[in-house]
Every structure is written in C-alpha cells, then in structure tokens.
C-alpha cells in the first residue's frame, strides 16, 4: 500500500547506519512501489559532497548491503534520482537555508536523526529556528536514548521544547521485526493461547538474544555502555513487555504503549544474586573483550543473564529469565514460553518430562514452533515423544516471506503513515531506565568484576547455575 507523498531528511545520511540499513531499506520500499514517485530523500551530513557524489555513495551502499538482488539498474537509477544531498553542520548555521529550500510544502516531512545523540538537541533547535519543521513533522531518533534515567529525561525535555510526543518516533528496530508483530497476532488473534498465558499454566519465560560478533568497531562506545545499557534496557525489555502485557482494548499506539508501560512499572527490583554479568575471554582464534576494546582493565559486561519478576495478577509466580551476550556460540534471538508439566501422568511407564514450549524465533529463520507431545510412531506401545510444530515464515508463506520487510523499512513507512505503535514512548524509556539504573549503580558501587566466559561459548557457568538452582535450564543456543 503506497504511503502519502513525503520528504525525508536523513541527518547522518553518510553514516554507517544510513548506508547499511536506512537507504537499502528505502530502496526496497521504492522497488515494491510503496514510495510515491515525487517523494524526496535528502541526505544531510558533515561531508562536503554534492548530490551526484552522494548518489554514487548510496549506489555503492545498496549494491554492497543488499536490496539490489532482484532489480534492474533502471529501478536503482530511478531511486537515486529521488535523492538529494546537503552538507550541513548540526552545531552551526552552514547548510540550513539550503535544506529549507529543498523541502516542499504540503507533504509529510520526516527528519531521521541518524547521528550521535549529543546532536539531537542542536538538530531539533535548528529545525525549529529555520522554520523547516512544522507542527505535523515527525522526527525519528536512534538509540541509545540516554545512558540512565537522568540523561533520558534531559533528552526527552530537549526534544519536547520543539516537538510534541506525537511527533517523536524513538526507534527500536526489534519492534519492527515481523515475528515481534506476529507475537501480538498469535496472542490476541487466537483462542488457543491467551487463556493459558498466565502463572497457572506458564512455568517460566526465557528471552535470549545471543550474538556471535564482538564489539566490532564500536569498542569505544560499547566499553562505556555494556550489555545492560546496550541491549537489556531497550531490546530485551521491549520483548518482555510484548510477552507480558495485558491485551489492549484496541490495537492503537497509545493503548499498546500504555500496557507496555504497566509491565515495566510492575517489574520488581532484581536481587544481586539473580544477575550474572559476563565478559568474553580469548579462545582459540578469538581475542578477548579487553583486547577488542583496548582496555586491559575493563570491567564492562558483554553478557548479562538475569531472573526477573513481573509483579501483577497474571505473572505473580512466573519468572522471566533474560540473557544476552556477544561472542556467543551462535546467533540466536528467541523467546520461549515454557508451559507447566501435566499434573497427572496417565501413560504407564512414561517417566520423561514432557512440556509444551512455544518458541518464537526472531533470528535466524524468523518463525515460531510449538513443542507438543505425541505418540512415538510404531508398534512400541504408548511411548511419548516431543515434536515441534514448526512454522518458519519462509515455509509457511512461500514467496511472500521473501518480501518480508526488513525492520528498518517497515518502521520508516510507519513514520510516514504516522503510526507510533511500534515506537517507544518517552515515559516507557524513562521507566525502563528507572528499573535498570539501580542494577547498574549497584555494580558500579561495588566495582563488580564480570565473570569471564570463553568467546564462542554459551556464556559464564554462573548463568547456567542461575537456572539450575531453580530446577530449570536454558534452551540451547544454536
Ligand atoms: P556514523 O559515525 O557512521 O555516522 C555519523 C553521521 O553523522 C555521519 O553522516 C556524519 O557526517 C554525521 N555528523 C557527525 N557530526 C555532524 C555534525 N556536527 N553535523 C552534521 N552531521 C554530522 O554513525 P552511525 O553508526 O551511522 O550511527 C548514527 C546513530 O545511529 C548513532 O546515534 C548510533 O548510536 C545509532 N545507531 C547506529 C547503529 C549502527 O548499526 N551503525 C545501530 C543502532 C543505532
């Protein structure tokens, strides 16, 4: 479905994120006919480039980072014709009047802040001072949104000086994933799951986001941040909210976000012995975290595992176990809803534990599977086995799955449509920091030393113990 005509300005349009994700994503939307022919995309960044230089840069990016597989060069040329470029200084006056002259009246105006957060205030202020943005314009802001409650509040206050909350789109690309939205469809669109979605039937929930990469080129930033700030406060908490929230009365932006906020507010403070911090160590051909960030005395965590409680009627007895880390043995993101054991076993000789598990995979192979217990085929009597009912999107949807929109392009189209459902509201972000701040402050106050784990492993042994103590185990990372 095509969106309305728009002008989209990408501040930081020459940066890594713009070249790897934003522009290849926009190209795919263009190719599928969703972007109106007159719409413009304006890169605005520090580099002294002209428009043809910028188009050449983006052509290369699209060829390198994907999106070009199915298209002829004509389509790419047409897309590149929709691009302009302005060299701009967020902190000075250079480039702003040129930018103003490029923006049309009477179209949707969106401004993507793909720059360091320290520039958000400058951009907001200049967009306002130069009368480029109007009361219907939208701004999109990237993570990290603050590094604690105080800085997030300050950032919210700065943006609020020039933009209303309804104009601010705080992006968390996890929320743009097909499976994440499907999670809501499965929960609220079927009669099967919602009646069981509570402490009476759910033993526990596991959320794992495991990466195989280390800190890459982001060592300087990451070492001041760590897994708790970089992953847990935003991505994992957002996933937890979607799993745990009450059904909103309608699927509207504020209704969904109200329910997510209630979950964050119901999270109990986490006791220190319910958290394991880890840092990857060298192994075989992999360097240690400390070598990667070039800080031999770093105590920053590249791994966190924790047990949390959502203290409300629905979840009072169901723990949520969260785990995320870098340099783990496989790249996996999944949510597993582990149901309780049957109260009574009627099949003689069946001593094994059989459990229903709904596993929602965000990557790789987005999809879901539901582990169910059936009779082992053959003449051996009533022997039971657990098998997955697999619903990999690529299998279930065939060709349509190939067009499954990448998270960024879906979210950008939502910005143009004015749909904030999949974006974090200011109060949500602040509530999430209010929950994580005391945990991080506790570590800092006692100079907590993270447990080392081998690069390429499943994390520190203590993370295994966190579950074992409760008679549970993590699902395999594979
Ligand atoms: P980058 O360093 O590659 O690019 C920064 C961009 O900002 C460049 O285009 C540069 O020209 C522009 N810029 C810098 N100073 C400027 C100024 N004074 N005036 C105008 N433009 C200026 O950064 P990036 O990796 O593209 O990240 C951009 C934002 O997105 C950051 O907030 C980052 O935290 C966030 N982010 C990035 C990724 C990623 O994968 N790269 C992922 C999540 C979030």
pLDDT grade, residue 230 (50/70/90)? very high
Active site residue 235: yes
Please return the burial class of 283, using the count of CB atoms within 10 Å of its CB with bins 0-12, 13-18 and 19+: middle
pLDDT grade, residue 68 (50/70/90)? low
Work out the average pLDDT over 411-427: 96
Count CA within 13 A, CB hemisphere, residue 158.
Answer: 20
Is 446 known as a binding-site position?
no
Decide if pLDDT at 402 tops 60: no
Mutation probe of ligand 1 site: the residue of 15, 213, 219 with most atoms within 8 A of C-beta: 15
Q: Whose CA is nearest to atom 1 of ligand 1?
A: 15
Per-residue confidence (pLDDT) for residue 403, from 0 to 100: 55
Instruction: Find residue 111's DSSP bridge partners.
Output: 9, 139
DSSP category for residue 64: H
- CATH class (in words) of the domain with range 175-468: alpha beta
Least confident of 100-104, 211-215, 391-395: 391-395
Per-residue confidence (pLDDT) for residue 342, from 0 to 100: 87
Least confident of 1-5, 65-69, 75-79, 145-149: 65-69
Residues of the chain with CATH 3.30.360.10: 175-468
Decide if pLDDT at 362 tops 80: yes
Per-residue CA distances from 187 to 37, 245, 360, 388 (Å): 38, 10, 12, 18
Per-residue CA distances from 117 to 18, 151, 388, 401, 423 (Å): 15, 11, 44, 34, 17
What radius of gyration do the chain's Cα atoms show? 24
Q: Whose CA is nearest to atom 33 of ligand 1?
A: 116
Q: Which residues have a Cβ under 8 Å from the Cβ of 311 and sit 6 or more positions away?
A: 266, 267, 268
Decide if pLDDT at 363 tops 90: no
Please give the backbone phi and psi of residue 102, each rounded to the nearest 5 degrees, phi first. -85, -20
Work out the average pLDDT over 354-380: 89
432-475 confidence digits (pLDDT tens): 999 999 999 999 999 999 999 999 999 999 999 999 999 999 99
Give the Cα separation of 105 and 85 in Å (integer).
18
Is 70 known as a binding-site position?
no
Mutation probe of ligand 1 site: the residue of 9, 11, 17 with most atoms within 8 A of C-beta: 17
Decide if pLDDT at 71 tops 70: no
- The more confidently predicted of residues 285 and 120 is 120
State in Å, rounded, how far the first CA of the chain is from the last one. Answer: 37
Is 442 known as a binding-site position?
no
Count CA within 13 A, CB hemisphere, residue 450.
Answer: 27
Decide if pLDDT at 255 tops 60: yes
Least confident of 5-14, 281-290, 357-366: 357-366
Work out the average pLDDT over 369-385: 88
Per-residue confidence (pLDDT) for residue 126, from 0 to 100: 96
Q: Which residues line ligand 1 (CB under 6 A)?
A: 12-18, 45-47, 88-91, 114-117, 119, 142-144
Return mean pLDDT, the chain: 93
Q: Give the Å distance between the CA of 96 and the centre of ligand 1.
A: 18
- The more confidently predicted of residues 399 and 25 is 25
Decide if pLDDT at 395 tops 80: no
Per-residue confidence (pLDDT) for residue 81, from 0 to 100: 96
Work out the average pLDDT over 147-167: 97
pLDDT grade, residue 284 (50/70/90)? confident
Q: Give the Å distance between the CA of 54 and the centre of ligand 1.
A: 16
Q: What percent of the chain has pLDDT over 70?
A: 97
Specify the pTM: 0.94
Per-residue confidence (pLDDT) for residue 383, from 0 to 100: 85
pLDDT grade, residue 17 (50/70/90)? very high
Q: Whose CA is nearest to atom 38 of ligand 1?
A: 17
Residues of the chain with CATH 3.40.50.720: 6-142
- The more confidently predicted of residues 86 and 391 is 86
Per-residue CA distances from 57 to 40, 103, 116, 408 (Å): 17, 22, 21, 20
Query: Which one of the listed residues 128, 130, 204, 235 is annotated catalytic?
Result: 235
Decide if pLDDT at 330 tops 60: yes
197-209 confidence digits (pLDDT tens): 999 999 999 999 9
Decide if pLDDT at 157 tops 60: yes
Q: Whose CA is nearest to atom 16 of ligand 1?
A: 46
Our CA angle for 95, 144, 361, nearest 5°, is: 125
Per-residue confidence (pLDDT) for residue 285, from 0 to 100: 84
Q: For the structural domain made of 6-142, what CATH number should be given?
A: 3.40.50.720
Decide if pLDDT at 14 tops 70: yes
């Amino acid at each position: 479905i095509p969106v309305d005509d728009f002008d989209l300005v990408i501040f930081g349009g020459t940066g890594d994120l713009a070249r790897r994700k934003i522009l290849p994503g926009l190209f795919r939307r263009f190719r599928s006919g969703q972007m109106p022919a007159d719409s413009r995309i304006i890169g605005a960044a520090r580099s002294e480039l002209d428009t043809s230089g910028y188009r050449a840069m983006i052509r290369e990016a699209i060829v390198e980072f994907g999106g070009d597989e199915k298209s002829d060069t004509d389509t790419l040329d047409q897309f590149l014709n929709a691009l302009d470029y302005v060299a701009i200084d967020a902190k000075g006056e250079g480039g702003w009047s040129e930018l103003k002259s490029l923006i049309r009246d009477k179209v949707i105006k969106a401004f993507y802040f793909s720059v360091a957060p320290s520039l958000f205030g400058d951009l907001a202020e200049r967009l306002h001072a130069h009368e480029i943005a109007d009361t219907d314009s939208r701004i999109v802001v990237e993570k990290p949104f603050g590094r604690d409650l105080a800085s997030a509040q300050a950032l919210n206050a700065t943006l609020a000086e020039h933009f209303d909350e309804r104009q601010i789109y705080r992006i968390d690309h996890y929320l743009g994933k097909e499976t994440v939205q499907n999670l809501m469809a499965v929960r609220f669109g079927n009669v099967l799951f919602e009646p069981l979605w509570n402490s009476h039937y759910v033993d526990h929930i596991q959320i794992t986001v495991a990466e195989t990469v280390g800190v890459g080129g982001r060592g300087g930033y990451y070492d001041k941040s760590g897994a708790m700030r970089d992953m847990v406060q935003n991505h994992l908490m957002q996933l937890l909210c979607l799993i745990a929230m009450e059904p909103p009365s309608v699927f509207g932006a504020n209704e969904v976000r109200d329910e997510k906020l209630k979950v964050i507010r119901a999270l109990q403070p986490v006791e220190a012995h319910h958290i394991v911090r880890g840092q990857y160590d060298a192994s075989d051909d992999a360097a240690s975290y400390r070598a990667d960030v070039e800080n031999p005395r770093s105590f920053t965590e590249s791994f966190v595992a924790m047990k949390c409680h959502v203290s409300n009627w629905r979840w009072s007895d169901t723990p949520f176990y969260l785990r995320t880390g870098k340099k783990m043995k496989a790249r996996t993101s999944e949510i597993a809803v582990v149901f309780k054991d049957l109260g009574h076993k009627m099949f003689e000789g069946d001593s094994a534990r059989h459990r229903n598990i709904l596993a929602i995979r965000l990557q790789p192979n987005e999809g879901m599977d539901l582990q169910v217990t059936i009779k082992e085929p053959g003449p051996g009597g009533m022997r039971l086995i657990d098998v997955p009912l697999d619903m990999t999107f690529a299998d279930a949807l065939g060709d349509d799955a190939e067009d499954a929109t990448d998270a960024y392009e879906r979210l950008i189209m939502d910005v143009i449509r004015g749909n904030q459902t999949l974006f974090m509201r200011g109060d949500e972000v602040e509530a999430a920091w209010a929950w994580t701040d005391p945990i991080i402050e506790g570590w800092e106050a006692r100079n907590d030393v993270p447990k080392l784990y081998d690069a390429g492993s499943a994390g520190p042994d203590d993370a295994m113990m966190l579950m074992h103590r409760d008679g549970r185990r993590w699902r395999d990372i594979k």
